[in-house]
Homo-oligomer: A and B are copies of this chain.
Amino acid sequence: MTPAQALPAVLDKIDADLHQSLERLFDFLRIQSISTDPAYKDQCRSAAEYVANDLSMMGFNAAIRPTSGHPIVVGKGGSQGKTPRVLFYGHYDVQPVDPLDLWEAPPFAPRISMLPDGRKIIVARGACDDKGQLMTFVEACRAFKAITGQLPLPITMVIEGEEECGSKHLFDFVKENADEFKLDLALVCDTSMWDPTTPMVTTSLRGLVYEEVRLTCADRDLHSGLFGGAVQNPLRVLARILAAMHDEDGRVTIPGFYGGVSELPPQIKADFKGLDLTPENFLADVGLKVPAGEKDRMLIEQIATRPTAEINGVIGGYTGEGAKTVIPAQAMAKVSFRLVGGQDPQKIRTAFHDFVRVRLPADGRVEFQSFASAPATELPFDSPVLAKARAALAAEWGKKALAIGEGGSIPIVGDFKRVLGMDTIMVGFALDDDRVHAPNEKFDLTSFHKGTRSWARILAALSA
């Protein structure tokens, strides 16, 4: 029985086992695997153990592989000889949960809830990004094993624990073990649908440079009455630097920033114009009206194919209740850049450092800390595996699957191409209202269920 022949029974099995699949996901979601905060180190380890154990129980040869950060789970299964040999990538770590007081229920107590429009949702930190998404693939594999006794293809899973803090150790791990991971095709489930009924293959991802800037002026906090007027305030210096990063038209002003950014081919631009994406609709969902990006660009370009500079966090001085008349000694900002096309992360980083330094007063000091650095990545539009994946998605959702770029970054995808020579098919079931990285993160139950079915179809299609 070929995977294609087994597919109807596999899909039935997925439907029949949905409740058990959800129980497994909930167990996974209860683990507080916040990778960026060292206080959660043990919980990250527990999440890795959960994944390794689950893969082992399905018959994968699974191991927890150490790094000098959080460990990486590697699982290998399926009969050798079949093609394509696929590498599935996901991550067991999640974002921090602050501000905690905006969560309607504890972030690590997953629950099923219902939206006013009747959609059932899974609510928890990681429900979507990436625990819920990666489990759609795992559950599809499980259903194949249950029905056919084997995986439809040779599958190697790489599930890391540092995606939310820059995948610092994954890159070297993949490079050092290139023989294990240099397969035929990579699959990733960490992206979005176009809308709740329209599936999508993500064909490009923006890269990311993430920097922390710490400015110091005086050697201690000072009284703004006694020193105000003469002493430089690092919050003022920082405000001027951050304000200068964009011009009045929303363009990034850092010299050389747009080097390597190409204009879209006319045909793609025309396709984009045909999409039903208006700034009004997109922004109304988050309580806004006015696009804040480059003035001469379509919204879909602003969020998918144009680079950005973003201020992710600022702190300095007195931020508690009430008033404190202080001139702080220090101010800190976290700044990140989304990259497209051929933008070089190292050049962007250096240009940003120069941009900051040239704006410092002569007696000001700056320290930088770098958290992420990954170029953009693109899948050729004429790839045969892309065609197979789109057809499988169309069969599941009853609607043509779009092939389009996405604004987020999955740094390792660039390395799959550069280091391992593999293309990556990115299929995901996130929706715009999933509150990814924010309080009350959710994943539609339909995304989880039909996502699992979608992967079963894609695996069957790839094996044909």
B interface footprint on A84-105 (CB within 8 Å = 1, 0 otherwise): 0000000000011011001000
Question: How many copies of this chain does one complex carry?
Answer: 2
| A393 close to B (CB within 8 Å) | no
| A229 close to B (CB within 8 Å) | yes
Residue from B236, B317, B437 within 8 A of A223 (CB atoms): B437
| A302 close to B (CB within 8 Å) | yes
- Interface contact B338-A334, CB-CB below 8 Å: no
Q: Which of A147-155, A253-261, A279-287 contacts B (4 or more CB under 8 A)?
A: A279-287
Residue from B321, B328, B439 within 8 A of A37 (CB atoms): B321
Q: Which residues of B contact A334 (CB under 8 A)?
A: 317-319, 323-324
- Interface contact A310-B228, CB-CB below 8 Å: yes
> Which residue on B lies nearest to A239, using beta carbons?
B242
Answer whether A409 and B225 are a contact pair too, CB < 8 Å, given A239-B243, A290-B363, A325-B336: yes
Q: Which residues of B contact A294 (CB under 8 A)?
A: 229
Q: Which residues of B contact A314 (CB under 8 A)?
A: 235, 238-239, 314-317, 319, 331
A376 to B221, CA, bound (A): 24
B interface footprint on A166-184 (CB within 8 Å = 1, 0 otherwise): 1000000000000000000
Q: Which residues of B contact A355 (CB under 8 A)?
A: none
A294 to B287, CA, bound (A): 41
- Interface contact B323-A218, CB-CB below 8 Å: no
Q: Which residues of B contact A315 (CB under 8 A)?
A: 314-316, 319
A-B CB contact pairs (8 Å), 17 listed: A36-B322, A38-B321, A217-B288, A219-B286, A221-B439, A224-B310, A229-B292, A229-B308, A239-B242, A292-B361, A312-B327, A313-B317, A313-B319, A313-B326, A315-B315, A315-B319, A323-B336
